[in-house]
């Protein structure tokens, strides 16, 4: 499940502002989600090829130009869908956390 929501987390970051790969990795680290470049680059490429992200090259003061990813309108629509799915999952988990066997037994009688 965590892998399925990696896309969601990345879109949340890029939706706030265009981001370079290192920016994404650093934001993920801040919330204790470790992701490596080898996982991130193919995912970003797939999202870009599917029209969810775009990118632009920006000059860097400390090296070669950097590719900054931005969310597209299609990406914003996908983010809305993922947000809805996340909220449904969160609600289901909360219901399970608060569930007690006694409730089921009283419903059966």
Domain extent at residue 88: 3-108
pTM: 0.83
The number of distinct structural domains making up the chain is 1
Q: Domain of 76: which CATH number?
A: 1.10.10.10
Q: Please, which pLDDT band fits residue 100 given cuts at 50, 70 and 90?
A: confident
95-100-101 Cα angle (round to 5): 130
**pLDDT tens, position by position, 36-71:** 999 999 999 999 999 999 999 999 888 899 999 999
Q: β-pairing, 53-60 with 63-71?
A: antiparallel
């Amino acid at each position: 499940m965590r892998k399925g929501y990696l896309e969601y987390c990345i879109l949340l970051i890029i939706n706030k502002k265009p981001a370079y790969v290192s920016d994404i990795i650093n934001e993920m680290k801040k919330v204790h989600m470790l992701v490596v470049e080898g996982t991130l680059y193919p995912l970003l490429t797939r999202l870009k090829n599917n029209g969810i992200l775009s990118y632009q090259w920006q000059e860097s003061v400390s090296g070669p130009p950097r590719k900054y990813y931005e969310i597209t309108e299609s990406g914003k629509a996908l983010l809305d869908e993922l947000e809805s799915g996340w909220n449904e999952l969160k609600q289901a988990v909360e219901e399970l956390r608060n569930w007690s066997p006694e409730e089921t037994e009283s419903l059966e009688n």
